[in-house]
Each structure stands twice: as structure tokens, then as C-alpha cells.
Amino acid sequence: MSDTAAASPSSTSTVASEAQRRRTFAVIAHPDAGKSTLTEALALHARVINEAGAVHGKAGRKSTVSDWMDMEKDRGISVASSALQFEYAPEGHTGEPYMINLVDTPGHADFSEDTYRVLTAVDAAVMLVDGAKGLEPQTLKLFRVCKARGLPIITVINKWDRPGKEPLELVDEIVTEIGLQPTPLFWPVGPAGDFRGLARLDRDGEVQEYIHFLRTAGGSTIAPEERYSPDEASEKEDDAWDTAAEEAELLAADGAVHDQELFLECTTSPLIFASAMLNFGVHQILDTLCALAPQPGPRESDPTVVEAAASSAGAAIDTVRGVTDAFAGVVFKVQAGMDTNHRDKLAFMRVVSGEFTRGMQVSHAQSGRSFSTKYALTVFGRDRNTVEAAYPGDIVGLVNAGTLAPGDTIYAGRKVQFRPMPQFAPENFRTLRAKTLGKYKQFRKALDQLDSEGVVQILKNDARGDASPVMAAVGPMQFEVMQARMMAEYNVETVTEPVPYSVARRTDAASAAELGRQRGVEIFTRSDGALIALFGDKWKLAFVEKEHPDLTMEPLVAD
């Protein structure tokens, strides 16, 4: 049973119409495929910025709006997801503009957990593929995660202005490697490295027109377009157009045409070729998202919580929350230090249902506590604006919202509690301590803050004390982020040291005593209270499992 009774008919109608114009998606890819550059280009084409921030050359390089950390600017990579919200009206669109909620994600495998959390908060994904490199390891992994989650994917072959693979070769690679059929909507005219424009195809694969792009200085502004009929294109581009038309016709004959139902089922993927750096094909990506990406839909409660509520006398919880039901939202990220002028913490919440209004009283599903949402913001990179109302699909930043953590549910009306966020098993471990004792107080404050964000997992035990906890992470670059942020945001210089462990398992109090007596095993308590056993290596774990099959040693991965 859902809580539609909590909303009046007029507000239900408003929520439905607002949800219909929302498009919430993530940009995901392997490192250096151009995610942040594309994010900047999408904002440029929506005319919410005047000039793209990414330019050629190290000396003149600017940071993109979505890469705001010093570490991101210095290295030219994204190490944390970043949300942008803006309106966009496709050419010829007559109604209200679409509200775009875009999340740029880190591509490096060390930050996979952040990316995977984002994928629980969006309705579609734009997967970027480097035209020269094709499907790289992280691209493959993310493709498979999207398919497993039932997240529709729009594929963009980026960097077509540079030498690369043949377009048909890239299509075949996607089909062969991941079993996803690309369905071209915009096919390149000119080979990789000689990107002249795009052939626009209809949903049956028929060529409709030629869009010719004109270069601008450094690709910093919107690239002008010239449009030609197929006959005019053949005369203008000669062999390049004929080749593009023949390849498009070949794919259509092979059944690679758009089918909306198959797209939403993650069987096919609309395909667009682009150059984010030159702003070629960018508004075509936005137009495709507006036309094809799903609007916000209902979300199921965590089955284990529903089952527990059913067995408890008098407990009631929604099994499904529809978009027009009473307000509910899910926190997918917590971030501090986004603005040196505001020493606060932002909990990024995806609105799942109903209308969110600033100052409304909501309940925290995990603790049962009630709190007010007086300080609520929309975000654009690190820039912030107070939000008065938000609707399904929107991403809202709640300032200093108590103890909210990734995966938490907040709601009004009838209780709902969504599935927890996925957790990855850490494979890298190091101790962390302040370089000077005089900074211990700031060290503890920074540690608690960054731990609550999930930058790393913090493990403690009595033997090591609070001054030298162990950090557990998916990848070693997370340790660098931890140290860099401690220095930048809390002025605490830290030192890390290796520990002789590479495998972690969850255990319980009954098993911890015996495990702690084993050579090469150490027991810790994680900040959420879980008991964690660290083992020297997988062979040590296998030996202990064989010798003590009755002890609890569970993987640290949550579905």
C-alpha cells in the first residue's frame, strides 16, 4: 500500500508533471575518456555557462565546474562524483524545459564505490567510450553493472576528432564484449581524426540529414552547425558521406535500429559519436536524453525491512513508493569541504517520490528520528543555491543533516526504507596518524568527518588506539585523497604506514576471540560497529577457514 492519500489531487498532478520533465543520469567511463569535459560541454550547450573550462595545454588548463578539488585540478582526473542541475529545451521543444540532473563520476577503479553509489540514484547512464581505445577494463565493468541494475545506457563514442578505430569495429566490440546492441542515432561523417559532422538517422535507421560542424577556438564555445539534405551532403562530402550512409544502411539491415522497449530493458543502447573537446555532437546527446531516457519511476523498499515490519505487530511500511506518493528520498553521497567558506557537510539526496519543500519535517528511516530540512540546496559543481521545492529525480544537498549516511532513507507520511548502498570489499590497508601530536584534536575531527563520507573505512582496536587507526580502501589512491583532504580542509599533515594485511572479513563477537589468537590475523571494530578480521593473504584466510569452519568469516560485500 502506498501513501497517495497524503498528497492532495492538485499536488499529485503537479508532482506527476514535474517528474515527467526530469532526466537524471550519470556520466560514466574509464579514466581519461572525457567525462568531465563532456559534463562541461553539456552545461555549455544548455547555456548555463558561457565558456567550457577544459582547454588544451597544461599551462593554460582550467578546471571544469565538476572537478573542484585541488587534487582533481592538479592531476586532471575526477576523484569524487559531482552533481549539476540545469534546465534544457531541445530545439523545437514547446512545453516547459526539461530539468537535467547530471552526475559526473570518477572513472578510476580506486573510486568505484563512489560511482556505484551514484548508479543507485540515477535513471540512466551516458557511457563514454574513447574512439581510439574502445572498451577498456573499467568501461566493461561499469557497462555490466548498469546492465545488472537494469539501468538504460546511451553510448557515446568520444574523441572522434582524433585518430582511432573504425566505427563498425567499435560497434562489433560492444556487441561481442558485453552483449549490448548499439543502435546508431547519429553516425559519423569522416573517419576518426577527420570528424566533419553527423548523419542523423531516424528510429528505423534511415538517414534524414547531414549536420556539419564548424570549429571554434579551442572548442570553448558552442560549435555552429550547418544542415544539409542527404543529396546535398553527398555532393558536399563525396566519399565520406557515401561511406557513412552505407555503414548506417548496413547496420539498419542487420537490425541495429532503436526500439524504446529494448532500450529500457538494457538490451540495446542508442549510439552517438561526438567530440566533447570540440563541442561536436553534444546537444545531440542532450536531445537524445530528453527524448529517450526514462523519467523517474517507482522504487521498492528493502525486502528485508518489509519482511521484518510484517512480522512485527502494528508495523507498517510501503513495499513500493510511487513518484506521486508522499515525499521520500535516498541519500547516495555525503561530502564536506566543497567550499572553504562553509565548513559544513552536504548529504546528497535523490528525491524518489512526492514534493520536497525546504523546512519540511521528515523522518529518518534507519533511526526513526525526525528532523527539519531547513538548509537545503541545489548544487552546480561546488556552487550552491537555496532550493525551495524539489521533485522526483532532483538531487538536493541537505546541509549538516545530522548523521545521514550513504544509503539512508528520509520520508514523510507512511514509512518507506530503500535498499542499502552497495559496499566493496577493501583490498588495501594502511595506518594513519597525525604527523605532530599537537594536531590530534583536528586529526580526530577530520577522521570522523571523512569516515562518515565513506572516503575510506576506518578500523580501530585497543592495541593500536585512536591515534593510529587502520584505513581500508578499494584502491590506494583513496589514501592519497584522505591525506590531501585532511591537509586542505583541516590543516592536518598525516603519515601513513603499511600493515601486513590484504584480505578483510566480517566476523562476530563469538568468533572474534578465537580469530584474534591466530597468527597473521588482527581484529578491528569499524565505525558502524561491525567486527572486521584482517588476514595476511588469501592463503592465510583459506587455512583458518579449513581449521575453524565453525567461525564466522563473511565477505564485506553488500548487494
- Residue 347 placed within a domain: yes
Q: Which of 39-48, 355-364, 499-508, 533-542 has the lowest mean pLDDT?
A: 39-48
> Is 327 within a domain?
yes
Question: pLDDT for 358-391, tens place per residue?
Answer: 999 999 999 999 988 988 888 765 677 888 999 9
Q: Is there a single domain that holds both residue 175 and residue 138?
A: yes
Assess whether 347 and 466 both reside in one domain: no
CA angle at 249 for the pair 247 and 255, rounded to the nearest 5°: 110
How many residues can be counted in the chain? 559
Q: For residues 360 and 498, state if they share a domain.
A: no
107 is in an annotated binding site: yes
| 3-class secondary structure, 240 | helix
Q: Is 507 annotated as a binding residue?
A: no
Domain containing 93 — which CATH number? 3.40.50.300
237 lies in some domain: no
Number of independent structural domains in the chain: 3
- Asked whether residue 220 is assigned to any structural domain, the reply reads no
CB contact at 8 A, 309 and 315? yes
Q: Could you give the C-alpha distances from 100 to 93, 96, 213, 285, 536, in angstroms and in order?
A: 15, 12, 25, 12, 47
Whether residues 145 and 283 fall in one domain: yes
Evaluate whether residue 253 is within a structural domain: no
Residue 506: CATH number of its domain? 3.30.70.3280
Examine the domain organization and report whether 190 and 48 are in the same domain: yes
Let me know whether 47 and 183 are in one domain.
yes
In this structure, the answer to whether residues 399 and 467 fall within a common structural domain is no
Task: Please indicate, yes or no, whether residues 263 and 331 belong to a single structural domain of this protein.
Answer: no
| 105 belongs to an annotated ligand binding site | yes
Domain-terminating residue out of 356, 379, 411: 411
Average pLDDT over every residue of 251-259: 95
Share of the chain above pLDDT 90, in %: 56
- Name the residue range of residue 497's domain: 428-547
Is 131 among the annotated ligand-binding positions?
no
242 annotated as belonging to a binding site for a ligand = no
C-alpha cell at 57: 595545454
Three-state DSSP at 164 gives coil
Domain match, 387 and 499 both: no
Same domain, residue pair 156 and 287 = yes
Q: What is the pTM of this model?
A: 0.81
pLDDT of residue 122: 94
User: What residues contact 231, with CB distance under 8 A and at least 6 apart?
Assistant: none
Same domain, 191 and 43: yes
Task: Assess whether 122 and 155 both reside in one domain.
Answer: yes
Residue 324's CATH number:
2.40.30.10
What's the pLDDT tens digit per position in 8-41? 444 899 999 999 999 999 988 888 888 888 988 9
